[in-house]
Homo-oligomer: A and B are copies of this chain.
Amino acid sequence: MPEHIVTSFDAELELLRSKIAEMGGVAEKMLDDSTRALVRRDSALARQVIEADSRLDNLQREVEENAVATIARRQPVAVDLRDIVSAIRVAGDVERIGDLAKNTSKRVLAISSEAHPAKIVVGVQHMSDLVQAQLKDVLDAYAERNEQKALDVWSRDDRIDALYNSVFRELLTYMMEDTRNITYCTHLLFLAKNIERIGDHTTNIAETIYYVTTGEAVAGERPKGDTTSFTTTGEI
């Protein structure tokens, strides 16, 4: 939109929303494709994910620039100000989700030719399914400014963390059973961690939605996080 056209405040907000909706669509596809590339050993698909990431980076920059221009021009207060600041935050989270899907795809390329028992990726695939559902729901909640849906996403993050913890332990077991699995499983560990972190970003977005609609922070502690940093040999 050229700068010299005078737009309404509502149109400026709508533009931010539509850019974030577009970012969300790109990120959802990147996450889905990166997981399918892992399961099917599809290097071409992994490369598509890597290429898609620059679109997200550009959109994030546009959201940030538009949001700052709107704040300076309109001097919004209360819910309108929260709405615009939230757009910057959500765009940041979605951009990070894209980065993580991109990194996942790079690892898929690295291990695509290595032999491994098919069962090893099952846990990671299941994690990805859960996180994709979370991402879809939180993007819907953002589009609708629906804090109840956002709270649902927020409270479901512990399922992903629990699954990540079990995948982490399972992968260590495969490594101990057969040292030839170590390189493959190490990449899967980082890949599973990427997916767990995408889950954390959906939780961040849920918190932002709650803040926009209510003006308050989510009450209570965030759902229990990744506990593998406390995993010792004795506990496995």
Contact = CB atoms under 8 A, between A and B. Distances in A.
Interface string A37-76: 0000000000000000000000000001000100111011
18 contacts: A64-B85, A68-B71, A68-B81, A68-B85, A71-B71, A73-B75, A75-B75, A110-B232, A114-B232, A114-B233, A175-B186, A183-B233, A183-B236, A184-B233, A186-B186, A189-B190, A190-B193, A190-B229
B187 A189 contact: no
A123 B5 CA distance: 57
Given A72-B76, A183-B236, A230 B176 contact: no
Contacts of A71: 68, 71-72
A81 B75 CA distance: 14
Interface stretch (A13-21, A101-109, A127-135, A143-151): A101-109
Interface of A: 64, 68, 71-73, 75-77, 81, 85, 88, 92, 103, 106-107, 109-111, 113-114, 172, 175-176, 179-180, 182-184, 186-187, 189-190, 193, 229-233, 236
A152 to B, nearest CB: 24
Contacts of A76: 72
B182 A107 contact: no
A interface, over-half SS: helix
Contacts of A184: 233
Contacts of A172: 182-183, 186
Nearest to A88: B88
A158 to B, nearest CB: 17
A175 B177 CA distance: 12
Contacts of A88: 88
A157 B75 CA distance: 39
A179 B175 contact: yes
A76 B75 CA distance: 11
A130 to B, nearest CB: 21
Contacts of A114: 232-233
A81 B69 CA distance: 9
